[in-house]
Amino acid sequence: MQRIDTDDHITAGLDALVAADPRLVAVRAFAGDVPLRRTQPGFASLASVIVSQQVSRASADAIFGRLTASLTPLTPETVLSAGEAPLIAAGLSRAKQRALTAVAEAAGAGILDLEALCMLEADDAVSRMTVIPGIGPWTAEVYLLVSAGHPDVFPARDVALQAAVAHAFALDARPDARALAAMAESWTPFRAVAARLFWAYYREMKGREAAPLA
């Protein structure tokens, strides 16, 4: 499995995608720059994905900035020792506070090895991550995309991706997660590059960034 580790890997993936699906030629042209979007595997990276759940990119940037300013370094130990006060002050919802604490507890206890997960096949890694309260498929898939550089995950529950695909293909309605996941099957084995492409397309379509923090 070739990880998506460099800009050259993005270019190669895009070349393969447009060769396999001619509809993506226009999508690529409109999207312009398609960023790599990679972070180092580990707790801080997963925390940034949790922060990004169901909020705008601007809100996620602000919340994560406050969180990392008050908890430095951002590790399971600092989260568990600090308690809920800095999480509340950063602007995390109760659900995200619980999720971040659950991940910190699991990682601190050795139950959740966030670096080892990056070496697994996507389905296995997602299954292991989603047993942790507050970690759903979207969070697990985005973590694998940005931290593991997994080439073939597609977070179909992402509303921005749904909107971008609907606009790009002139669909009557935004596809739901099941429909978009089915559409994305044709972009295997570069579904993660396709996700990056449609996040870039959304950026150009809306004039604002919607991709999760990375």
Would you say residue 213 lies in a domain? no
Considering the domain architecture, whether residues 120 and 47 belong to the same structural domain is answered as yes
Assess if residue 119 is contained within a domain: yes
Q: Residue 1 pLDDT > 80, yes or no?
A: no
Q: At what angle do helices 177-184 and 159-168 cross, to 10 degrees?
A: 60
- Spatial contact of 144 and 125, defined as CB atoms under 8 Å apart: yes
The answer on 127 and 97 residing in a single domain is yes
Domain of 67?
A: 43-148
User: Are 160 and 143 found together in one domain?
Assistant: no
Q: What is the CATH number of the domain that holds 157?
A: 1.10.1670.40
**Mean of the pLDDT values across residues 1-21?**
95
122-131 per-position pLDDT tens digit: 999 999 999 9
Burial class (CB in 10 A: 0-12, 13-18, 19+), 195: buried
Residues 25 and 65 in one domain: no
- Domain assignment present for residue 212? The answer is no
Same domain flag for 144 and 164: no
Q: Is the pTM higher than 0.85?
A: yes
* Residues 27 and 56 reside in one and the same domain: no
pLDDT by residue (tens digit) across 69-99?
A: 999 999 999 999 999 999 999 999 999 999 9
Domain membership flag for residue 102: yes
Task: Give the tens place of pLDDT for each residue, 39-49.
Answer: 999 999 999 99
The domain tally of the chain equals 2
